[in-house]
């Protein structure tokens, strides 16, 4: 059962990779008669009839080790008794056993005409990581990821670290077109003069066992190379230098071609980063891979390279949930021998789910400062204006930096802020940008910290935030995770214990934020959860709320009752949620405006959300109180439905 489960999981990974992939076209030159080609990636998005020119009459795929368990479509999908050759014949389905062109495989291709006839066969492929398996029986039809740097490398140079491939007792053959016979395939007698073409497959008659495919060996912790999926963030690669000299690798980001019809569309390239460890700071540093860079590997040495993804990049934050990103990391060596296109992919996932963490308060004061908020307007693809959202903020001494989120494609708008009497009063658009399809997020730098408000020690508050599938964020005072009471009793997130299955409470969890009013689900406020972005949630503690610190049920001066023990009559149109003592209340209402400012440096966009926190409290003191600090939330669940 475990093997079956694993097999099904691998199949799911394979078929998903076929629909969602990065694409690159390799062009194959064919002649009339028999040719050999090598595919470095899958070309399974269409039928062989449509992929190849009409002059191609037959295609034969070589299946090494035919007596063992082999594969019909992928190394992940085995079938018993695969023959040595799978064949496709144009117009003869009864004799066809080959239905798709899979990657990392060698093919014989028969074309109409003679060697004087030449044809071009461009094949768009979803590239795979290179691999090779040399078998002992001496029959190896193989291809290699060589580099075309004006010319392809020589056989002897490429196989210098695997000399058995070109040894004196090894015979190498190549197909040159024409009928099969003494001159086709043709033996390569001088490997020191022969170029190794990456688009061709060659017969090697060498009784050797190995897995050589290039002078550099690559292995990744992810099955598909740099495949981050929806929540992955770190992938490590081991690179082994088989040569006796130091080698400089060049790693460069390369965009994918457009996806073929019926395949998953590509929103943009993966925003890759490389991770280097700073021993003096005892931390990892991430640098965006926006251009080519180099890594030096010593002779016969192995190094580990660490890669990550910037899910807070503007291209990903602006994309809709489910958007697919794909590209390549091209790796070449200083000897101009190897050229590998490592596939990179990632999904933009929704932030829906339960997030739990802590707020660390480091400043408290009775002087008010607050971050300004702005809302952008877009017309004809450009930002035309930014308006002050709400009060405009307090405590500014100079104009703050204004950051406008970038469009998915186009140029980013820029703006400046105007400050008067400590508040942001307006904005000036310095560049409207281009390519905007919706209003971008506008982030305004916070005012400077007020002097004399620092706390002697940081004070922590629990934060529970649930984001539903529509993007609505709710602050919770408590939450329960467990089997729901309603059928089919799936695991869910609820605001009350009574909503859970009674006989399954021993497996449930309860999480509480004690500083919030009891049993409140708080969604009032402005903004939304985004990186970068600002979310404000307003917490109201009415004058008659049990958690109001001024309310004492049995104290005659603080029970909101008159001398006859009747409820007080509020004046000036006040309500329980905004009552003051001047309105007749003995326990005034308290209001807390909590602002979470999500920043890229403190968030990874999938499993961690963090940034700066500020809170304005009215009603607790005669002056408005201001609290500030930082926060970090971690995703505890991806369930986007809150059962209430």
Residue linked to tokens 């669940």: 637
Nearest-Å Rg of the Cα atoms of the chain is 33
Residue linked to tokens 């965006």: 288
Longest dimension (CA), the chain: 117
CA proximity to 463, closest of 356, 542, 570: 356
For 520, phi then psi, to 5°, come to: -95, 140
Task: Report pTM.
Answer: 0.75
CA 458 distance to own-chain centroid: 33
Give me the residue spans of the domains in the chain.
Answer: 2-205, 216-347, 373-444, 454-542+589-643
State the pLDDT at residue 385.
93
CA distance 81 to 83: 6
State the pLDDT at residue 338.
96
Is the CB of residue 254 less than 8 Å from the CB of residue 25?
no
What confidence tens digit (pLDDT) does each residue in 521-573 have? 999 988 888 888 899 999 888 877 788 887 777 777 777 776 677 777 777 77
- CATH of region 216-347: 2.60.40.10
CA distance 17 to 13: 6
For 49, phi then psi, to 5°, come to: -55, -40
Measured CA angle at 128 (ends 201, 200), to 5 deg:
15
The overall average pLDDT reported for the chain is 87
State the pLDDT at residue 542.
83
What confidence tens digit (pLDDT) does each residue in 301-343 have? 999 999 999 988 889 888 888 899 999 999 999 999 999 999 9
Proportion of the chain above pLDDT 90, given as a percent: 55
What confidence tens digit (pLDDT) does each residue in 168-191 have? 888 999 999 999 988 999 999 999
CA proximity to 637, closest of 523, 538, 507, 493: 493
State the pLDDT at residue 405.
87
* Per-residue pLDDT band at 4 (split at 50, 70, 90): very low
State the pLDDT at residue 476.
94
What confidence tens digit (pLDDT) does each residue in 479-519 have? 999 999 999 989 999 999 999 999 999 999 999 998 888 88
What confidence tens digit (pLDDT) does each residue in 459-481 have? 899 999 999 988 899 999 999 99
Is the CB of residue 199 less than 8 Å from the CB of residue 146?
no
CA distance 288 to 316: 14
């Amino acid at each position: 059962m475990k093997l079956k489960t694993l097999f099904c999981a691998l199949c799911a990974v394979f078929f998903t990779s076929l629909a969602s992939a990065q694409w690159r076209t390799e062009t194959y030159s064919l002649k009339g008669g028999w040719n050999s080609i090598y595919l470095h990636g899958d070309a399974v998005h269409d039928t062989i009839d449509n992929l190849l020119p009409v002059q191609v009459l037959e295609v034969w795929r070589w299946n090494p080790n035919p007596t063992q368990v082999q594969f019909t479509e992928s190394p992940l999908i085995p079938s018993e008794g695969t023959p040595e050759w799978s064949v496709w014949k144009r117009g003869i389905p009864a004799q066809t056993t080959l239905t798709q062109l899979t990657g990392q495989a060698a093919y014989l291709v028969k074309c109409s005409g003679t060697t004087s006839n030449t044809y071009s066969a461009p094949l768009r492929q979803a590239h795979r990581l290179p691999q090779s398996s040399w078998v002992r029986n001496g029959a190896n039809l193989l291809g290699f990821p060589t580099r075309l740097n004006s010319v392809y490398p020589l056989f002897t140079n490429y196989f210098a670290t695997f000399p058995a491939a070109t040894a004196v007792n090894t015979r190498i053959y190549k197909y040159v077109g024409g009928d099969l016979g003494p001159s086709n395939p043709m033996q390569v007698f001088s490997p020191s003069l022969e170029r190794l073409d990456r688009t061709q497959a060659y017969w090697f008659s060498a009784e050797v066992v190995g897995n050589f495919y290039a002078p550099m060996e690559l292995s990744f912790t992810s099955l598909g190379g740099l495949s981050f999926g929806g929540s992955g963030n770190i992938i490590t690669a081991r690179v082994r230098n088989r040569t006796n000299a130091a080698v400089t690798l060049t790693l460069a980001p390369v965009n994918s071609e457009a996806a073929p019809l019926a395949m998953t569309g590509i929103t943009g390239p993966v925003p890759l980063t490389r991770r280097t460890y700073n021993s003096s700071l005892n931390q990892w540093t991430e640098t965006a891979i926006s251009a080519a860079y180099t890594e030096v590997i010593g002779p016969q040495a192995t190094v580990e390279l660490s890669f990550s993804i910037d899910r807070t990049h503007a291209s990903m934050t602006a994309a809709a949930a489910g958007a697919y990103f794909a590209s390549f990391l091209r790796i070449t060596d200083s000897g101009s021998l190897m050229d590998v296109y490592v596939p990179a992919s990632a999904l933009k996932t929704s932030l829906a789910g339960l997030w739990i963490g802590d707020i660390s308060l480091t400043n408290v004061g009775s002087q008010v400062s607050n971050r300004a908020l702005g809302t952008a307007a877009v017309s004809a693809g450009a930002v035309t204006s930014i308006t002050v959202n709400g009060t405009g903020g307090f405590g500014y001494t100079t104009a703050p930096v204004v950051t406008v989120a970038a469009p998915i494609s186009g140029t980013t708008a820029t703006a400046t802020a105007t400050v008067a009497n400590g508040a942001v009063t307006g904005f000036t658009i310095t560049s409207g940008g281009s390519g905007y399809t919706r209003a971008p997020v506008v982030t305004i730098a916070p005012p400077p910290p007020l002097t004399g408000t620092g706390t002697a020690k940081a004070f922590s508050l629990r934060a529970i935030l649930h984001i539903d599938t529509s993007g609505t964020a709710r602050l919770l005072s408590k939450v329960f995770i467990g089997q729901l009471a309603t059928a089919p009793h799936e695991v869910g997130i609820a605001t009350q214990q009574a909503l859970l299955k009674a006989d399954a409470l021993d497996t449930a969890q309860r999480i509480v934020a004690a500083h919030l009013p009891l049993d409140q689900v708080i969604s009032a406020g402005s903004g939304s959860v985004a990186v970068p972005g600002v979310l404000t949630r307003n917490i109201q503690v009415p004058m008659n709320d049990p958690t109001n610190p001024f309310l004492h049920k049995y104290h005659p001066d603080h029970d909101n009752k008159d001398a006859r023990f009747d409820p007080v009559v509020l004046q000036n149109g006040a309500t329980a949620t905004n009552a003051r003592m001047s309105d007749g209340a003995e326990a005034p209402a308290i209001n807390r405006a909590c602002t979470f400012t999500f920043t890229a440096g403190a968030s990874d966009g999938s499993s961690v959300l963090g940034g700066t926190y500020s809170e304005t409290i009215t009603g607790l003191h005669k002056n408005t109180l201001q609290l500030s600090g930082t926060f970090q939330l971690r995703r505890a669940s991806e369930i986007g439905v809150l059962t209430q």
